Amino acid sequence: MARIVKRAYRYRFYPTPEQACELARTFGCVRLVYNKALEERTRAYTVEGRRVSYVESSASLTAWKRSKELAFLNEVSSVPLQQALRHLQAAFANFFARRAKYPTFKSRKRSRASAEYTRSAFRWRDGRLTLAKMHDPLEIAWSRPLPEGAEPSTVTVCRDAAGRWFVSLLVEETIRSLDPSESMVGVDAGITNLLALSRQIPGLTDKDGRVANPRHERDSRRRLTKAQRSLARKAKGSANRAKARLKVARIHARITDRRRDFLHKLSTRLVRENQVVVIEDLTVRNMVKNHALARSISDASWRELRSMLEYKANWYGRELLVVNRWFPSSKLCSACGALAESMQLHVRTWQCVCGAVHDRDINAAKNILAAGLAER
Protein backbone atom coordinates (compact mmCIF):
# COMPACT_ATOMS: atom_id res chain seq x y z
CA MET A 1 0.00 0.00 0.00
CA ALA A 2 1.27 3.47 -0.88
CA ARG A 3 0.18 6.82 0.52
CA ILE A 4 0.85 10.36 -0.63
CA VAL A 5 2.17 12.57 2.18
CA LYS A 6 3.42 16.11 2.43
CA ARG A 7 7.02 16.01 3.56
CA ALA A 8 9.49 18.83 4.25
CA TYR A 9 13.13 18.50 3.17
CA ARG A 10 15.44 20.84 5.07
CA TYR A 11 18.79 22.02 3.70
CA ARG A 12 21.41 24.46 4.73
CA PHE A 13 22.22 27.28 2.29
CA TYR A 14 24.73 30.08 2.04
CA PRO A 15 23.27 33.42 0.93
CA THR A 16 25.23 36.18 -0.75
CA PRO A 17 25.49 39.47 1.20
CA GLU A 18 22.69 40.89 -0.96
CA GLN A 19 20.45 37.87 -0.36
CA ALA A 20 21.17 37.94 3.39
CA CYS A 21 20.24 41.62 3.51
CA GLU A 22 17.00 41.01 1.58
CA LEU A 23 16.02 38.08 3.81
CA ALA A 24 16.83 39.97 7.01
CA ARG A 25 14.60 42.82 5.81
CA THR A 26 11.85 40.31 4.99
CA PHE A 27 12.13 38.69 8.44
CA GLY A 28 11.73 42.09 10.08
CA CYS A 29 8.68 42.96 8.01
CA VAL A 30 7.07 39.58 8.73
CA ARG A 31 7.58 40.08 12.45
CA LEU A 32 6.18 43.64 12.27
CA VAL A 33 3.06 42.60 10.36
CA TYR A 34 2.41 39.68 12.72
CA ASN A 35 2.76 41.87 15.81
CA LYS A 36 0.61 44.72 14.44
CA ALA A 37 -2.13 42.28 13.39
CA LEU A 38 -1.99 40.62 16.81
CA GLU A 39 -2.24 44.00 18.52
CA GLU A 40 -5.26 44.91 16.39
CA ARG A 41 -6.99 41.59 17.08
CA THR A 42 -6.31 41.87 20.82
CA ARG A 43 -7.73 45.39 20.96
CA ALA A 44 -10.85 44.34 19.03
CA TYR A 45 -11.35 41.30 21.27
CA THR A 46 -10.82 43.08 24.61
CA VAL A 47 -12.43 46.46 23.85
CA GLU A 48 -15.16 45.61 21.36
CA GLY A 49 -15.69 41.95 22.17
CA ARG A 50 -15.43 40.84 18.55
CA ARG A 51 -13.14 38.57 16.57
CA VAL A 52 -11.13 39.87 13.62
CA SER A 53 -11.09 37.67 10.53
CA TYR A 54 -8.19 37.02 8.18
CA VAL A 55 -9.91 39.13 5.51
CA GLU A 56 -9.98 42.14 7.86
CA SER A 57 -6.32 41.66 8.75
CA SER A 58 -5.43 41.44 5.07
CA ALA A 59 -7.30 44.72 4.41
CA SER A 60 -5.37 46.31 7.27
CA LEU A 61 -2.10 45.15 5.70
CA THR A 62 -3.06 46.91 2.47
CA ALA A 63 -3.76 50.11 4.43
CA TRP A 64 -0.43 49.84 6.25
CA LYS A 65 1.41 49.59 2.95
CA ARG A 66 -0.26 52.76 1.73
CA SER A 67 0.68 54.74 4.85
CA LYS A 68 3.79 56.89 4.86
CA GLU A 69 5.22 55.30 8.03
CA LEU A 70 4.97 51.69 6.76
CA ALA A 71 5.58 52.20 3.04
CA PHE A 72 8.78 50.14 3.37
CA LEU A 73 6.58 47.01 3.53
CA ASN A 74 6.27 47.31 -0.25
CA GLU A 75 10.01 46.69 -0.62
CA VAL A 76 9.73 43.00 0.27
CA SER A 77 7.64 40.21 -1.23
CA SER A 78 3.99 40.41 -0.22
CA VAL A 79 3.59 36.63 0.08
CA PRO A 80 5.54 36.14 3.36
CA LEU A 81 3.52 39.00 4.87
CA GLN A 82 0.24 37.34 3.89
CA GLN A 83 1.52 34.03 5.23
CA ALA A 84 2.26 35.72 8.57
CA LEU A 85 -1.40 36.72 8.77
CA ARG A 86 -2.47 33.15 7.95
CA HIS A 87 -0.24 31.82 10.72
CA LEU A 88 -1.82 34.29 13.14
CA GLN A 89 -5.28 33.17 12.02
CA ALA A 90 -4.31 29.54 12.71
CA ALA A 91 -2.93 30.53 16.13
CA PHE A 92 -6.24 32.16 17.09
CA ALA A 93 -8.20 29.20 15.75
CA ASN A 94 -6.16 26.92 18.02
CA PHE A 95 -6.68 29.28 20.95
CA PHE A 96 -10.46 29.45 20.58
CA ALA A 97 -10.54 25.65 20.16
CA ARG A 98 -8.57 25.40 23.43
CA ARG A 99 -5.69 23.61 21.76
CA ALA A 100 -3.15 26.34 22.53
CA LYS A 101 -2.53 29.42 24.64
CA TYR A 102 -3.24 32.98 23.53
CA PRO A 103 -0.84 34.07 20.74
CA THR A 104 2.17 36.10 21.87
CA PHE A 105 4.16 38.83 20.18
CA LYS A 106 7.27 37.90 18.21
CA SER A 107 10.50 39.15 19.74
CA ARG A 108 13.39 40.28 17.56
CA LYS A 109 15.83 38.50 19.87
CA ARG A 110 13.93 35.43 21.01
CA SER A 111 11.71 34.46 18.07
CA ARG A 112 13.00 32.40 15.16
CA ALA A 113 13.60 34.57 12.10
CA SER A 114 11.66 32.97 9.23
CA ALA A 115 9.60 33.70 6.15
CA GLU A 116 7.29 31.43 4.16
CA TYR A 117 6.95 31.64 0.37
CA THR A 118 4.15 29.97 -1.58
CA ARG A 119 4.38 28.89 -5.23
CA SER A 120 3.77 32.37 -6.64
CA ALA A 121 6.75 33.83 -4.76
CA PHE A 122 9.59 31.58 -5.91
CA ARG A 123 10.93 30.01 -9.08
CA TRP A 124 12.00 26.36 -9.21
CA ARG A 125 13.88 25.37 -12.36
CA ASP A 126 16.28 22.49 -12.89
CA GLY A 127 16.81 22.05 -9.16
CA ARG A 128 17.62 25.72 -8.57
CA LEU A 129 15.54 27.86 -6.22
CA THR A 130 15.12 31.62 -6.68
CA LEU A 131 13.01 33.61 -4.22
CA ALA A 132 10.93 36.70 -5.02
CA LYS A 133 12.86 40.00 -5.08
CA MET A 134 16.09 38.10 -5.81
CA HIS A 135 18.00 37.79 -9.07
CA ASP A 136 20.21 34.80 -8.28
CA PRO A 137 19.25 31.33 -7.00
CA LEU A 138 20.15 30.25 -3.46
CA GLU A 139 23.37 28.31 -2.98
CA ILE A 140 21.92 25.21 -1.31
CA ALA A 141 24.01 22.38 0.13
CA TRP A 142 22.08 19.37 -1.21
CA SER A 143 22.80 16.90 1.58
CA ARG A 144 20.21 14.49 0.13
CA PRO A 145 18.20 14.51 -3.09
CA LEU A 146 14.57 15.45 -3.36
CA PRO A 147 12.18 12.71 -4.53
CA GLU A 148 12.33 12.29 -8.30
CA GLY A 149 9.98 14.71 -10.02
CA ALA A 150 9.07 16.52 -6.79
CA GLU A 151 7.96 20.14 -7.10
CA PRO A 152 8.04 22.29 -3.94
CA SER A 153 4.67 23.81 -3.06
CA THR A 154 5.93 25.92 -0.15
CA VAL A 155 9.39 27.19 0.76
CA THR A 156 10.31 28.33 4.28
CA VAL A 157 13.56 30.20 4.88
CA CYS A 158 14.93 30.68 8.39
CA ARG A 159 18.05 31.76 10.27
CA ASP A 160 18.73 30.12 13.61
CA ALA A 161 20.33 31.66 16.70
CA ALA A 162 23.73 30.31 15.64
CA GLY A 163 23.56 32.35 12.42
CA ARG A 164 22.98 29.36 10.14
CA TRP A 165 20.60 29.65 7.19
CA PHE A 166 18.15 26.87 6.31
CA VAL A 167 15.55 26.37 3.60
CA SER A 168 12.70 23.88 3.96
CA LEU A 169 11.00 22.58 0.81
CA LEU A 170 7.51 21.11 1.22
CA VAL A 171 6.78 18.45 -1.41
CA GLU A 172 4.28 15.68 -2.02
CA GLU A 173 5.87 12.26 -1.84
CA THR A 174 4.58 8.74 -2.35
CA ILE A 175 5.68 6.48 0.51
CA ARG A 176 5.12 2.76 0.30
CA SER A 177 4.23 0.76 3.40
CA LEU A 178 6.84 -1.62 4.76
CA ASP A 179 6.33 -5.36 4.49
CA PRO A 180 4.34 -6.75 7.45
CA SER A 181 6.39 -7.89 10.42
CA GLU A 182 5.54 -10.28 13.23
CA SER A 183 7.68 -8.37 15.75
CA MET A 184 6.14 -6.17 18.45
CA VAL A 185 7.82 -4.09 21.14
CA GLY A 186 6.88 -2.29 24.34
CA VAL A 187 8.83 0.85 25.20
CA ASP A 188 9.47 2.22 28.69
CA ALA A 189 11.14 5.65 28.80
CA GLY A 190 13.81 6.40 31.37
CA ILE A 191 16.72 8.69 32.24
CA THR A 192 19.61 6.43 33.25
CA ASN A 193 18.79 4.43 30.13
CA LEU A 194 16.85 6.32 27.49
CA LEU A 195 14.56 3.37 26.73
CA ALA A 196 13.93 -0.14 28.01
CA LEU A 197 12.41 -2.47 25.41
CA SER A 198 10.41 -5.62 25.92
CA ARG A 199 12.78 -7.48 23.62
CA GLN A 200 16.36 -7.20 22.49
CA ILE A 201 17.14 -5.60 19.12
CA PRO A 202 20.69 -6.41 17.94
CA GLY A 203 22.83 -3.36 17.39
CA LEU A 204 20.37 -1.09 19.19
CA THR A 205 20.02 -2.46 22.73
CA ASP A 206 22.22 -4.27 25.21
CA LYS A 207 21.64 -7.93 26.07
CA ASP A 208 18.74 -7.02 28.38
CA GLY A 209 16.93 -4.69 25.97
CA ARG A 210 18.11 -1.27 27.15
CA VAL A 211 18.96 1.69 24.90
CA ALA A 212 21.71 3.79 26.43
CA ASN A 213 21.04 7.48 27.06
CA PRO A 214 23.62 9.51 25.07
CA ARG A 215 23.09 12.56 27.34
CA HIS A 216 24.05 15.07 24.67
CA GLU A 217 23.48 18.11 26.89
CA ARG A 218 25.54 16.77 29.78
CA ASP A 219 28.30 15.77 27.36
CA SER A 220 28.67 19.44 26.32
CA ARG A 221 27.84 20.98 29.70
CA ARG A 222 31.40 22.04 30.55
CA ARG A 223 31.84 23.89 27.24
CA LEU A 224 28.38 25.40 27.55
CA THR A 225 28.97 26.58 31.13
CA LYS A 226 32.27 28.18 30.17
CA ALA A 227 30.70 29.97 27.19
CA GLN A 228 27.74 31.19 29.27
CA ARG A 229 30.01 32.59 31.96
CA SER A 230 32.03 34.39 29.31
CA LEU A 231 28.80 35.83 27.89
CA ALA A 232 27.69 37.05 31.34
CA ARG A 233 30.91 39.06 31.74
CA LYS A 234 30.46 40.99 28.49
CA ALA A 235 28.95 44.47 28.46
CA LYS A 236 25.42 44.61 27.08
CA GLY A 237 25.26 45.96 23.56
CA SER A 238 28.96 45.40 22.87
CA ALA A 239 30.44 43.57 19.89
CA ASN A 240 32.18 41.13 22.21
CA ARG A 241 28.83 40.22 23.79
CA ALA A 242 27.41 39.49 20.34
CA LYS A 243 30.36 37.18 19.61
CA ALA A 244 29.95 35.42 22.97
CA ARG A 245 26.20 35.02 22.42
CA LEU A 246 26.89 33.44 19.03
CA LYS A 247 29.32 30.98 20.63
CA VAL A 248 26.70 29.90 23.17
CA ALA A 249 24.11 29.52 20.40
CA ARG A 250 26.46 27.31 18.37
CA ILE A 251 26.98 24.97 21.31
CA HIS A 252 23.21 24.73 21.82
CA ALA A 253 22.75 24.11 18.08
CA ARG A 254 25.29 21.26 18.15
CA ILE A 255 23.52 19.64 21.11
CA THR A 256 20.16 19.92 19.34
CA ASP A 257 21.51 18.52 16.07
CA ARG A 258 23.15 15.53 17.75
CA ARG A 259 20.03 14.78 19.78
CA ARG A 260 17.69 15.00 16.78
CA ASP A 261 19.97 12.81 14.65
CA PHE A 262 20.04 10.14 17.36
CA LEU A 263 16.27 10.21 17.85
CA HIS A 264 15.64 9.95 14.10
CA LYS A 265 17.83 6.86 13.83
CA LEU A 266 16.28 5.31 16.94
CA SER A 267 12.66 5.94 15.90
CA THR A 268 13.31 4.70 12.36
CA ARG A 269 14.70 1.38 13.61
CA LEU A 270 11.82 0.87 16.04
CA VAL A 271 9.26 1.48 13.30
CA ARG A 272 11.02 -0.51 10.58
CA GLU A 273 11.62 -3.61 12.71
CA ASN A 274 8.28 -3.81 14.55
CA GLN A 275 4.71 -4.04 13.31
CA VAL A 276 3.39 -2.72 16.64
CA VAL A 277 5.12 -0.24 18.95
CA VAL A 278 3.54 0.43 22.37
CA ILE A 279 4.50 3.46 24.49
CA GLU A 280 3.30 5.23 27.64
CA ASP A 281 1.31 8.46 27.54
CA LEU A 282 3.79 10.59 29.50
CA THR A 283 2.96 14.18 30.51
CA VAL A 284 6.39 15.70 30.01
CA ARG A 285 5.07 19.21 30.69
CA ASN A 286 4.21 18.22 34.26
CA MET A 287 7.26 16.04 34.77
CA VAL A 288 9.72 18.87 34.10
CA LYS A 289 8.25 20.74 37.06
CA ASN A 290 10.41 18.42 39.16
CA HIS A 291 13.48 20.69 39.28
CA ALA A 292 15.75 17.85 40.33
CA LEU A 293 15.06 15.96 37.10
CA ALA A 294 13.94 18.71 34.70
CA ARG A 295 17.31 19.05 32.97
CA SER A 296 17.70 15.31 32.41
CA ILE A 297 14.09 14.92 31.22
CA SER A 298 14.49 17.77 28.74
CA ASP A 299 17.74 16.27 27.47
CA ALA A 300 16.05 12.89 26.92
CA SER A 301 13.42 14.62 24.72
CA TRP A 302 10.73 11.95 25.10
CA ARG A 303 8.06 14.13 23.48
CA GLU A 304 10.09 14.58 20.30
CA LEU A 305 10.69 10.82 20.12
CA ARG A 306 6.95 10.16 20.43
CA SER A 307 6.22 12.66 17.66
CA MET A 308 8.70 10.92 15.37
CA LEU A 309 7.21 7.51 16.14
CA GLU A 310 3.70 8.82 15.38
CA TYR A 311 4.34 10.17 11.91
CA LYS A 312 6.76 7.43 10.86
CA ALA A 313 4.32 4.71 11.93
CA ASN A 314 1.65 6.45 9.86
CA TRP A 315 3.96 6.72 6.86
CA TYR A 316 5.12 3.11 6.84
CA GLY A 317 1.91 1.31 7.77
CA ARG A 318 2.88 0.44 11.33
CA GLU A 319 0.73 0.65 14.48
CA LEU A 320 1.60 2.87 17.42
CA LEU A 321 -0.37 2.18 20.61
CA VAL A 322 -0.39 4.44 23.67
CA VAL A 323 -1.01 3.10 27.19
CA ASN A 324 -2.64 5.21 29.91
CA ARG A 325 -0.09 7.05 32.05
CA TRP A 326 -1.64 5.68 35.25
CA PHE A 327 -1.09 2.05 34.26
CA PRO A 328 1.14 0.48 37.00
CA SER A 329 3.67 -0.96 34.59
CA SER A 330 6.58 -1.05 37.05
CA LYS A 331 4.70 -2.64 39.98
CA LEU A 332 2.94 -5.34 37.95
CA CYS A 333 4.58 -8.74 37.63
CA SER A 334 4.84 -9.63 33.95
CA ALA A 335 5.02 -13.34 34.84
CA CYS A 336 1.97 -13.88 37.09
CA GLY A 337 0.15 -10.53 37.04
CA ALA A 338 0.50 -9.83 40.77
CA LEU A 339 0.60 -6.15 41.75
CA ALA A 340 3.15 -4.97 44.32
CA GLU A 341 1.78 -2.62 46.99
CA SER A 342 4.42 0.09 46.56
CA MET A 343 7.78 0.59 44.91
CA GLN A 344 10.18 3.48 45.50
CA LEU A 345 12.00 5.00 42.54
CA HIS A 346 15.42 3.82 43.78
CA VAL A 347 14.30 0.16 43.59
CA ARG A 348 15.66 -1.13 40.27
CA THR A 349 15.29 -4.91 40.84
CA TRP A 350 12.51 -6.66 42.74
CA GLN A 351 11.15 -10.15 43.37
CA CYS A 352 7.49 -11.07 43.03
CA VAL A 353 5.64 -13.40 45.39
CA CYS A 354 5.67 -15.97 42.59
CA GLY A 355 9.46 -16.04 42.75
CA ALA A 356 10.16 -14.16 39.52
CA VAL A 357 12.97 -11.59 39.74
CA HIS A 358 12.42 -8.51 37.60
CA ASP A 359 14.48 -5.65 36.31
CA ARG A 360 12.16 -2.72 36.97
CA ASP A 361 12.42 -1.11 33.50
CA ILE A 362 12.40 -4.29 31.38
CA ASN A 363 9.42 -5.58 33.36
CA ALA A 364 7.61 -2.28 32.74
CA ALA A 365 8.29 -2.53 28.99
CA LYS A 366 6.82 -6.05 28.89
CA ASN A 367 3.72 -4.90 30.77
CA ILE A 368 3.29 -1.88 28.48
CA LEU A 369 3.35 -4.18 25.45
CA ALA A 370 0.77 -6.52 27.00
CA ALA A 371 -1.52 -3.64 28.04
CA GLY A 372 -1.33 -2.05 24.60
CA LEU A 373 -2.20 -5.29 22.82
CA ALA A 374 -5.09 -5.88 25.25
CA GLU A 375 -6.61 -2.49 24.41
CA ARG A 376 -6.36 -2.81 20.59
User: Active-site residue among 116, 217, 299, 361?
Assistant: 361
Any bridge partners for residue 325, and if so which? none
User: Active-site residue among 22, 188, 217, 299?
Assistant: 188
Q: Is 280 a catalytic residue?
A: yes
Residue 215 burial class via C-beta count within 10 angstroms: exposed 0-12, middle 13-18, buried 19 and up: middle
User: Among residues 63, 85, 65, 61, which one has the least CA distance to residue 75?
Assistant: 65
User: Active-site residue among 22, 116, 217, 280?
Assistant: 280
Strands 193-197 and 184-189: antiparallel
User: Among residues 9, 12, 264, which one has the least CA distance to residue 147?
Assistant: 9
Backbone φ and ψ for 73, nearest 5 degrees, come out as -65, -20
| Cα–Cα distance measured from residue 46 to residue 213, given in angstroms and rounded to the nearest whole number | 48
Residue positions annotated with a catalytic role: 188, 280, 361
